[in-house]
Amino acid sequence: MASGFFALLDDIALLMDDVATMSKMATKKTAGILGDDLAVNAEKASGFVSSRELPVLWAITKGSALNKVIILPIAFLLSYFLPWLITVILILGGLYLAYEGAEKIYEYFFPHAPAKKVEAFKELSETEILALEKGKIKSAIVTDFILSVEIIIIAMGTVVGEDFWMQVMVVSVVAFIATVGVYGIVALIVRMDEAGYKLIQWSDGRNKILQSVGTLLVKALPRVIQFLAVVGTLALLLVSGGIFSHQLPALHHAVDFIPSMLLDFLLGLIVGLLCVFVVNVFNKIAKKDKVTQ
């Protein structure tokens, strides 16, 4: 009886060791897109009033966790019964990511009139500001959903052929890391300035080291956010372009003289700009229809 119990414990230990090893491999393969996820979500989680940063980030984190809960069982079922549908979902997600990235570039070169933005902001009530906040949270969760699909699909690719429950455990570990790890780092980034102010207060003008570090953190935050905004935009285009290039293997042979990263960026940018063009045309047609009505 005792020997059987210890044998069971030994089997469990071996299983967990295998899970840890495969999870490490899967995390390495998804490291690039996890970095993209961090950059994109750090950029989306910034820009709020200081007192609202953590509540907003917590709302996005809960949405991200719910995304994983929804995606995981569906991904396992689709990979078993309808593997071709995963490819379709990947491409649709790639189109959305490409549109998001290209739209940011388009708005940078063709911005809206700033005066109108300021006037509109002044007229907003507290309820309307909260509604805008909810809109940004929703946008962040939608983007997280698409990136989560990519992360989970890539992680599943590392455990193809393994036992079903092994797949479940390994991919679930990666999904957990993608939520807790990424948003934990995002929380540290967006609270850099608060940490800096605390250090300055603690220094009380006497401790030069604390004061210098605190000042550095306060001054560095805007730069970090600007940097992450650029990285986040590039990440959207690189991830989407990577999806398209992997679905078109013949393209690699046709343009093998172009570095893969540059090819992914160009594909993401071209497809994204086409999506922006189509959406803008559709919006103009919709506005004309409203005017005529």
Per-residue pLDDT, 182: 80
Q: For the chain, how many residues are written?
A: 293
Per-residue pLDDT, 33: 61
Per-residue pLDDT, 225: 73
Place of tokens 């949270």: 137
Per-residue pLDDT, 22: 56
Q: Which long-range contacts (CB under 8 A, 24 or more apart) does 212-219 make?
A: 217/192, 217/193, 218/192, 218/193
* C-alpha–C-alpha distance, residues 73 and 53, integer Å: 31
Give the DSSP H or E segment for 111.
none
Q: Which CA distances in Å does 10 have to 6, 17, 165, 169, 200?
A: 6, 10, 18, 18, 53
Give the tokens for residue 188. Answer: 């540290």
Residue 48: domain span: 25-292
A 10 A CB-CB count for 181 gives 14
Q: Which residues of the chain have pLDDT under 50?
A: 1-2, 4-15, 18, 115-122
Do residues 20 and 115 lie in contact, with contact meaning Cβ atoms separated by under 8 Å?
Answer: no
Per-residue pLDDT, 29: 52
Per-residue pLDDT, 193: 76
* C-alpha–C-alpha distance, residues 165 and 153, integer Å: 16
Per-residue pLDDT, 40: 66
Asked, for residue 238, whether it belongs to a domain, the answer is yes
* C-alpha–C-alpha distance, residues 58 and 130, integer Å: 15
Asked, for residue 226, whether it belongs to a domain, the answer is yes
Asked, for residue 5, whether it belongs to a domain, the answer is no
Give the DSSP H or E segment for 68.
helix 50-81
Asked, for residue 7, whether it belongs to a domain, the answer is no
Give the DSSP H or E segment for 248.
none
Domain count, the chain: 1
DSSP 140-193: HHHHHHHHHHHHHHHHHHTTTTS-HHHHHHHHHHHHHIIIIIHHHHHHHHHTHH
* C-alpha–C-alpha distance, residues 46 and 84, integer Å: 37
Asked, for residue 133, whether it belongs to a domain, the answer is yes
pLDDT digits (tens, 9 = 90+) for 217-232: 888 877 887 787 787 7
* C-alpha–C-alpha distance, residues 150 and 161, integer Å: 19
Asked, for residue 18, whether it belongs to a domain, the answer is no
* C-alpha–C-alpha distance, residues 96 and 13, integer Å: 42
Asked, for residue 20, whether it belongs to a domain, the answer is no
pTM over 0.85: no
Per-residue pLDDT, 35: 61
Per-residue pLDDT, 180: 83
Asked, for residue 190, whether it belongs to a domain, the answer is yes
